[in-house]
Amino acid sequence: MKTTIRKVEIPENTRLIVTSDIHGHYDYLKKLLDKVRFSGNDILFIVGDLIEKGPFSLKTLRYIMSLSAAYTVYTLMGNVDALRLLIFDDDSTKGCEGLFEYIQYMDKHWGGCIFSDMCGELDFTVHAAEDIPALKAAIRVSFLAELDFLRQLPTMIETQNFIFVHGGIPSEHIDQYAETDAFQYLKIDAFMEKGYAFNKYVVVGHWPVTLYNDEIAAFNPIVDKHRKIISIDGGCGLKRDGQLNALIIPDIYSEDFTYEAYDAFPAAYAQTTQAASADSIYIRYIDNKIKILARGYEFSYVKHESTGCELWILTDCIFSNGNNSENAACDDYTNYKLQVSIGDKLSIIKKTSKGYLVKKDGISGWFDGVIAYV
């Protein structure tokens, strides 16, 4: 897939709403836009990864298409979108076994995928890899509008003061990248750690912002005004406590950035106070090897291999082969206790015997006090 670049002149006194990594979460996108009061006076940027890993990939794609027809919306290609498009457009029999296994995996672990959504509309059942060529042929006929929409998505959009790209770029002089391999800009892990700096703001998604911190789980956009990089992926759909972020740029020449976020967790108000942890750890999937010291039904006591930190974690967050305590890993996990005041609004992620796993102002952690549901 070749890199395509679009240059856009943004009118002054126009608010920009920027989101990314929706991953098939139609409800999240709709409610986030309601929350920011998106209207025809605004411009919406969607910085890639529209589909997959959420329950409504096809519905989300069509909703974005309808928004694009009714409002000023600039949608970019994400690495997930590009990979699926390559599969749709491949009429060879190569990879059919892999796609069949992928559909089965996604149905089991994520509740579906865009292929499953399309199968449902086509009343097409995939029984084996041999059914895949017929499925793809039917998709190319029946979902031409959706595929054409994906095909025309640019890799990068440049405006007066901003460059939008899903993964990242090594230089703001983006014309040099035209017609080069797009995937090197759609998928750059940990882009903010590469040492780049720019004169125009570069706004990216792809890498959940919470992976940049090894002490607390923070999901709000990261704005580095010195290096002019903004990372906005709130981990929607990928992280247990993730959210969908909207960066708000009040004017094309403004740096007075704000943000809003949406998650679907039930809300409650704190009825008691709690002090923040003095020390905490946030285990991320990029460094998640653990040793199980004592396995329990709800919580297990483990040792994080790289730091030597010992802590209790939810047992259902542990991945191990049988009872192998020496070769285990865990889902993203924190033992951080939030600072909470009476009346603080909390998103309740999970209730346990040791308190509540909650999120407050985009930061998740533990609260062992009293709550009252909204």
- The structural domains of the chain, ordered by start, are 12-78+153-262 (3.60.21.10), 268-373 (no CATH)
The per-residue pLDDT for 94 is 83
Buried b (16+ CB within 10 A) or exposed e, 134-159: ebbeebeeebeebbebbeebbbbbbb
* C-beta separation of 20 from 221 below 8 A: no
Given a cut of 80, whether residue 316 has pLDDT beyond it is yes
* C-beta separation of 204 from 196 below 8 A: no
Q: Three-state DSSP class for 136?
A: helix
Strands 43-46 and 16-19 turn out to be parallel
Mean pLDDT of 349-355: 96
Q: What is the pLDDT of residues 243-290, one digit of tens each?
A: 999 999 999 999 999 999 999 999 999 999 999 999 999 999 999 999
Report the distance separating Cα 172 and Cα 196, nearest Å: 10
Q: What is the pLDDT of residues 155-176, one digit of tens each?
A: 999 999 999 999 999 999 999 9
The per-residue pLDDT for 208 is 98
Mean pLDDT of 135-143: 95
CA distances from 341 to 93, 219, 248, 278 (A): 59, 20, 28, 17
Given a cut of 80, whether residue 202 has pLDDT beyond it is yes
Report the distance separating Cα 15 and Cα 254, nearest Å: 10
Which residues are 39's β-sheet partners? none
Report the distance separating Cα 184 and Cα 187, nearest Å: 6
